[in-house]
Chain A
């Protein structure tokens, strides 16, 4: 019986892949949106396993919270736009399937043939101890995002806030009743 992080990883991975398939394949768009919420929650579980607690909380707040509600509102405002009898897939869906399977096999082959794939390992506790960040990743992430003196990502952070402002203004202008 493998240890608990491995079992948790594979259980969450099955939930992730299953909910992603449900989002992509379901005919009813509302059910697909609800499976998208499940997908976002399970991805947050993966981030907790990978020592990214802050990313997990941000994922739940922004993705499972805001983006899911946005998608549901958009579905609500565009209801009856497509009849439920219509085929939800475009004409050449089989070609898209072939392309995606070829791409997946290619990426998996490239990942497997790398020397790093089995040497490096992900462990929920060992990497935390080795990194010396006994209090988690959020302190280091704050230093990386905000520090004005050391090596930091403060400029992309400020530009990201401008991107959000532009997105707010743009979404309001585009979605106006006019």
Chain B
């Protein structure tokens, strides 16, 4: 029997792995991939909650977690498209996507 605990711990571990990648990678595409890992970890958590607390309430079967997961997938795909377009545009100007070197606005 898979408990809700196991699903939440899995989501937490994946989120922290993605967070480590987003904080410590220097390639901008690598940072984007780590952000996608974080979003998928959140999706796993939400779908786990939706699967555990589904019941016939006053408003019908409750699948709120799955609805939220659909919207997160939609927005994450849109964000990935825009972010990769930005990375390509930055590469055309600066010829680098090392985020350590794109530091014109650093104080």
Contacts and interface: CB of A to CB of B under 8 A. Distances in A.
Interface in B29-63: 29-30, 32-34, 36-37, 40, 43-44, 47-48, 50-56, 59-61, 63
B85 A174 contact: yes
B70 A131 contact: no
Contacts of A43: 40, 43-44
A82 B8 CA distance: 36
A121 B16 contact: no
A51 B12 contact: no
Interface residues of A, number: 96
Q: What DSSP secondary structure best describes chain B's contact surface?
A: helix
B89 A175 contact: yes
Given A9-B6, A36-B36, A63-B36, A167 B81 contact: yes
Looking at chain B, what size class is its interface with the partner chain?
A: 35 or more
Nearest to A35: B33
B51 to A, nearest CB: 4
A100 B25 CA distance: 14
Contacts of B27: 29, 81-82, 88
Given A29-B30, A81-B95, A51 B54 contact: yes
Given A36-B33, A141-B63, A170-B85, A96 B20 contact: yes
